[in-house]
Chains A and B, each alone.
Chain A
Amino acid sequence: MKVPLSRIAHTRSGDKGDTANIGVIAWQERHYPILLRELTPARVKAWFGNLVSGDVVRYELPNLSALNFLLHGALGGGGTVSLRTDAQGKTFGAALLSLEIEVHEHELAE
C-alpha cells in the first residue's frame, strides 16, 4: 500500500551554498530498511522537479536510522544570489514528507 513518507519518518533541511540537504530520520529503527528501499536519489530528484538542476546524492547513517540527501543546484544560486522565498531550503524537508512510498502492511504492524 502507499503511505506518505511522514508515516515513518521526520526530516530537517538546510543549505550549503546552492546545495540543499535533507536529513530523513525513521521514527522507528525497524523502518530504516524501508527508507533505504523506497527513498532513492532518483525519486527524490523527480519529486522536486525543476527546483533541482543538479545531482541528488544519498548518504546512509544506519546508526541514526537516517539518510542524508544532498540536492545540488537546488536553491536558485543559494545565499543572497537566490531569488526564491526559500533560498535556504528550510522547507524542503517538509516538502518531502508528502512523497508517497510503497510499504507492505506487515512492515507497519506493531
Chain B
Amino acid sequence: MIRIANGQGFWGDWLEAPVRLIDQGPIDYLVLDYLAEVTMSILQKQRQADPNLGYARDFPSLIGRISKKLLDRDVRVIANAGGVNPVACARAVRQLAPGLKVAVVLGDDVFPRLDEFLGKGYEMPDLDTGRPLSTIRDRILSANAYIGAFPLAEALASGAHVVIAGRSTDTALTLAPMVHHYGWAADDWDRLAAGTIAGHIIECGAQTTGGNCQVDWQNIADLDEIGYPIIEAEPDGSFCVTKHAAAGGRVSTDVVKEQLLYELGDPQRYITPDCIADFTSIRLADAGPDRVRVSGIRGSPRPPTLKLSISYSDGWKAIGTLVYSHPQALEKAQAADRVVRRRLARLGLSFDEIYTEFFGVNACHGPAAPPAADPPEVQLRIGVRGFDRKAVDRFTRELIPLVLSGPPGATGYGEGRPPVREIVAYWSALIPREEIQTRVEVVE
C-alpha cells in the first residue's frame, strides 16, 4: 500500500496544509495542485514580463520550508506548480532546497506552436461553441495541452524528490505515483480509471474531508485544523480515502459522494489523457472512523486526442457597488440602478452586458431565492463588460455620484472607483495526441 496525500487544492489554498500532512502522520507522496483554467494566462503574462517567472511562486518557498522533512521521512512531491515555466520553477526550488533532486516534465506548452498547428489544418474549434480558433488567434494569451500520468511517472522513475509539471491534469498527479510504484500498464484501463477517480476525490484538498460540505456541517470537528485527504492505494486499484487521525474534519461515504459529484460531466465518460473513467462503477463502503473504501472501478481506452487549454483576451469589465439601508432598501437600490442605466444610455455608451444584482436579496440564487420582505440593507452591485475600455472606465465614474444625486442613504463607497479588469476567457479544443511530445529533465 502507498499513501498519497493532497496538500493544495488550488493556488491560494491553505499554506499550512502540506506541512501538517507531513507532520501528523505517514505519507509517501505529497500532491499539490496549483493550476486553474485562467491561471495559465496570468503566468504567461508574468513570463513575458520576466523570463524567470511564470510559475506558482508559493511553491519554491513551501519546498524550502519542508525540504528537510521530505528527506527525513522519505516523502516525494508531485506538483503542477511549473505553470508555463517549469524549469525556472525547478531552479527556484533548487536554490531554496539544494539537497533535493528535482525533475521537470516539459512539452505541454504549445503557445509557440499554434501557427504550426493551424498550418497543418487543425482548426481547434472550441468544444463549447464550435467556433474555429482562427477567430481569436490574435488575442490568445496562453495555450497548453493537458498531459497525463505517464510523463509524471517517468519523472518519478528518475529518482527525483520533487516532480514539477506544467499543465498536467489534476488527476494525473495522484495517478502517477500508482503507475510508478505498481508498474501499471498504459492499457490497464480499470486500474488507471481507479487511480484517476482517486485523483478526482482528493484534487480539491479538504473538499473531501469536510470542507464546503453540507453533511451535518455544524458538527464537523475542528475545521480550523482540518486534515487534507490521503489515498491509501492498493496494487489492485482499490483504495481507501482517509485523513490523519490527529487532524480535524471528517471523511465519510456521504462526504466522499459530494466530492465525486463535484464538477462532474457525463459520469460514464470522465475523459482524461490516461483513460476514460466510469463513475457509475464506483463502490463505496464505510471502513471505520474517517475511512471510506473505494472499489469496483471500471475504465475504457483513452481518447486519441488531448485537450488544449487556451486562454485569450476578451474585453474589459468593471463591477461597482453601493449600499442602501432600511427602510425601503431594495426600492432605493432598484431606483439607483435605473438612474445609472439611464445616465450610461444618455452618454451613448454601449456594453456587451450590464448586469445588476441586489446583494442580500437575489445575488446568489436569483429567482430561486426566497422572498425578502423589506430587508434591513441591500448592496446594489452593477457590472459591465465590453471591448471598449473607455466605456468601461467611464462606467466606473457613474456610481459614486449617486451618493449625492440619487435615492437617499447610499453608503459603502469607501473603496472608491472600482478597477477596470481585462477579461481572460477560456477556450478548450482537441489535438491529436501524437502532436504532443513530453520529455523529462532533471534540473541540477
Contacts and interface: CB of A to CB of B under 8 A. Distances in A.
Contacts of B353: 76-77, 83
A64 B265 contact: no
A64 B317 CA distance: 41
Contacts of B283: 63
A96 B381 CA distance: 23
A80 B257 contact: no
B398 interface: no
Interface string A79-90: 111011110001
A95 B364 contact: yes
A94 B428 CA distance: 29
A91 B357 CA distance: 15
Contacts of A86: 363-364
A40 interface: no
Interface in B407-442: 421, 423-426, 428
A81 B425 contact: yes
Contact of B367 (A12, A51, A77, A83): A51
B381 A85 contact: yes
A90 to B, nearest CB: 8
Interface residues of A, number: 47
B262 interface: yes
Contacts, number: 137
State the majority secondary structure of interface residues on B: mixed
Contacts of B116: none
A61 B268 CA distance: 9
Contacts of B421: 80
A28 to B, nearest CB: 11
Interface residues of B, number: 51
A12 B423 contact: no
A64 B284 contact: yes
B266 A59 contact: yes
Nearest to B217: A10
B355 A66 contact: no
A45 B318 CA distance: 29
Contacts of B13: none
A104 to B, nearest CB: 24
A86 B368 CA distance: 14
A45 B296 CA distance: 33
Interface of B: 37-38, 128, 212-215, 254, 257-268, 279-284, 314, 317, 319, 353, 355, 357, 359, 363-370, 381, 383-385, 421, 423-426, 428
Given A68-B267, A79-B424, A83-B317, 17 more contacts: A15-B263, A17-B128, A17-B428, A21-B264, A24-B261, A49-B366, A59-B267, A60-B267, A60-B280, A63-B280, A66-B260, A68-B261, A83-B353, A83-B355, A84-B383, A85-B364, A99-B368
12 contacts: A10-B258, A12-B214, A12-B261, A14-B263, A18-B128, A63-B280, A63-B283, A70-B265, A85-B357, A94-B214, A95-B364, A98-B368
Interface of A: 10-12, 14-19, 21, 23-25, 27, 47-51, 59-64, 66, 68, 70, 76-81, 83-86, 90-91, 93-99
